[in-house]
Amino acid sequence: MVTPTLGMRGLRRGKPRYSIFSLARHALDYHEGWQRAWRAPEPQPEYDAVIIGGGGHGLATAFYLASLHGIRRVAVVEKSWIGGGNTGRNTTIIRSNYLWDESAAIYEHALKLWEGLSQELNFNLMFSQRGVLTLAHSEHEMKEMSRRVNAIRLNGIDSTVMTPAQIKQLVPIIDISPSLRYPVMGGFFQQRGGTARHDAVAWGYARAADECGVDIIQNCEVTGIRQAKGAVTGVETTRGFIKSAKVGCVTAGHSGIMAAMAGLRLPIESRPLQALVSEPIKPIIDTVVMSNAVHMYISQSDKGELVFGAGTDAYNSYAQRGSLPVIEHLLASAVELYPIVSRLRVMRTWGGIVDTCPDASPIISTTPVKGLYFNCGWGTGGFKATPGSGHVFADLIAQDRPNAIAAPYTLERFTTGSLIDEHGAAGVAH
Amino acid sequence: MLLIECPWCGPRDEAEFAYGGEAHIARPTEPDKLSDAEWAEYLFLASNPRGTYLERWRHAHGCRRWFNAVRDTYTHEIIEIYAMGSLPKSKLGIQAYEDSWRRGSAAEQNAKRGSAKS
């Protein structure tokens, strides 16, 4: 396992720091004097690197490019507002308990970065290692889980098998009676997993990247990728042409559209993934519980809302909304496993467009077009990887070759056949 | 929620159907003649358009028969339903079929050669 390097430490560039003291100071003038967290610059004619997509992954990439690799002229172009896509639509679950070595390496890399990220970015990400419990609902699933736990522990990642009685102790609201249609047979638990405030991740990276001189250009849609002699020369946008010899594309569900602009095709299908929250209530669950077999996961936000995540809708879509049967299915499972939620009202439902890959693993890759890089295919589980993804993608863009963690995630794996099949770990609740 | 018109049973809720993904992917009849890259293109690469899409559905909780649909992946509008083995007749459907990169793909050429022989 590679130990992440923390980029920003001791490298402050003059932005006033957020702290308890600044909070107290600003209280004196009724919080009217807070500075802008990031600028709203006009696009420059040329940059050293352009990142398409202002979600968590894109902003993290820009931040690490500027802070670790010394590439100062970096722009992030975002067609609407930053963090408004899947970064603001996921259920904020973070974990690294994946089966295969390649996955363990990248997700654990991310988790280690998460552990120091609020301090590094000087932004409270509300990162909470409240633990992630995954349930097994059949004898077979329990056996498979035990095997998985062993593999995960061999990679040095914390993971424990739990009995139904232990689960009941950890999650008192759960029904573990054997009469359920899908009874709880056990589960496995990663204590270092948990949640973070998803918007804060985008804002924290944006603020820190801006501090390093990165231009964050919102309301600027990329309409074309210009190339000459097999190399990228820049991007056409709704705010004019931006010249750059390096372009990193981090656009999740819209990656196929970006690839088509460059004359490439990807093994990605775009599907809606839905989630919902209940009305806020007093704390009833202080961990995250996932269940792949019944397509449901649950946690409680700091505001008190129960956050439920579903499986993907069956059909391809770019509409950022899904169908009701998926929500119905999710709520049926929720009510059976947690009878206490039956009389809660659903407050909001929404969908994001996820970029699903045939092997449920991401693509972090160079392309046949020199200087054009793709980071996509995170499917239903990209949020947890945000820092690690940005960290290795920045390295790929800066060095023009993948590092040891990113190397297995090339586009070529679909030709060579060395897929990283994580359907088991991910499938639904990723 | 989609309301899908099964050609045999009429309009039914989406929940009765199973999704079959992209339509008109010709399976190579002589796979050994394809390079690894051409095989990967057939097996893994997706059209995944935003807009008109030709796709397959199965009335899983009904007559259990397959059919094709022309659907817009952004508006979710179902433009046309047509039989397996036939081509779309709507203007958008014809255009999507003809513009697809699959028409020139090595896999489809290979499939055509194979069916011409037999």
Report how far residue B59's alpha carbon sits from residue B77's, in angstroms, rounded to the nearest whole number.
Answer: 18
Q: Pairing mode, if any, of strands A363-366 and A372-376?
A: antiparallel
Query: Are the Cβ atoms of A315 and B55 closer than 8 angstroms?
Result: yes
Cβ contact, residue pair A416, B36, below 8 Å: yes
Measured in angstroms, the CA of B41 and the nearest CA of chain A are apart by 8
Predicted ipTM? 0.95
What is the predicted pLDDT for the residue at A277?
97
Going from the C-alpha of A333 to that of each of A14, A177, A283, A298, A320, the distances in angstroms are 51, 14, 20, 11, 23
Degrees to nearest 5, angle at CA A88 with A68 and A8: 20
Q: Check CB contact under 8 Å for A414 and B44.
A: yes
The separation between the first and the last C-alpha atoms of chain B, rounded to the nearest angstrom, is 43
Name the phi and psi angles at A255, rounded to 5.
Answer: -60, -35
A159, amino acid identity: S
Which tens digit of pLDDT belongs to each residue from A294-335?
888 999 999 999 999 998 999 999 999 999 999 999 999 999
Q: Which residues in chain B are contacts of A415 at CB distance < 8 A?
A: 36-37, 40
Q: Tokens 């979710």 appear where?
A: B76
Sign of the alpha-carbon torsion through A18, A23, A28, A31: positive
Over residues A18-36, the mean pLDDT reads: 93
Q: Considering only the beta carbons, identify the residue of B13, B18, B48 that sits closest to A256.
A: B48
Q: Which residues does residue A222 pair with via DSSP β-bridges, in sequence order? A: A237
Contact A267 B101 (CB under 8 A): no
Asked whether A86 and A362 are in contact (CB, 8 A), the reply is: no
Residues of A in contact with B21 (CB under 8 A): 269, 316
Q: How far apart are CA A417 and CA A398, in angstroms?
A: 27
pTM of the model as a whole: 0.94
pLDDT of residue A14: 64
Distance from CA of A215 to the nearest CA of B (A): 29
* pLDDT value, residue B118: 57
Do B87 and B32 touch, CB atoms closer than 8 A? no
Task: Classify domain B3-117 at the CATH topology level.
Answer: Folate-binding fold (3.30.2270)
As a whole number, the mean pLDDT across chain A is 94
Cβ distance of B1 and A325 shorter than 8 Å: yes
Residue A290 tokens read as 């996932």
Q: Where are the domains of chain A?
A: 129-193+269-356
Record: contact A265-B50, CB cut-off 8 A: no
Please state, in angstroms and rounded to a whole number, the distance separating the CA atoms of residues A53 and A34: 27
Q: Give me the residue from B40, B48, B101 closest to A415, CB to CB.
A: B40
| CA-based nearest residue in chain B for residue A272 | B73
Helix axes A386-399, A56-68, angle to 10 degrees: 50
The yes-or-no verdict on residue A1 having pLDDT over 60 is: no
CA gap A18, A113 in Å, rounded? 20
Question: What are the average pLDDT values for consecutive 10-residue runs of chain B, which has 118 residues?
Answer: 95 96 95 95 96 98 98 97 97 97 93 76
Closest chain B C-alpha to A380 CA, distance in angstroms? 17
Which chain A residue has the Cα nearest residue B47? Answer: A265
CB contact under 8 A, B50 and A315: no
- Which residue in chain A is spatially nearest to B21 when comparing CA positions? A315
CA distance B37 to chain A (A): 5
Q: Mind listing the pLDDT tens digit for each residue in A145-193?
A: 999 999 999 999 999 999 999 999 999 999 999 999 999 999 999 999 9
Of the candidates B2, B40, B73, the beta carbon closest to that of A323 is on B2
Mean pLDDT of A74-82: 98
Task: Name the fold adopted by A129-193+269-356.
Answer: D-Amino Acid Oxidase; Chain A, domain 2 (3.30.9)
Q: Answer yes or no: do A268 and B19 touch at CB < 8 A.
A: no
Give the separation between CA B9 and CA B7, rounded to whole angstroms: 6
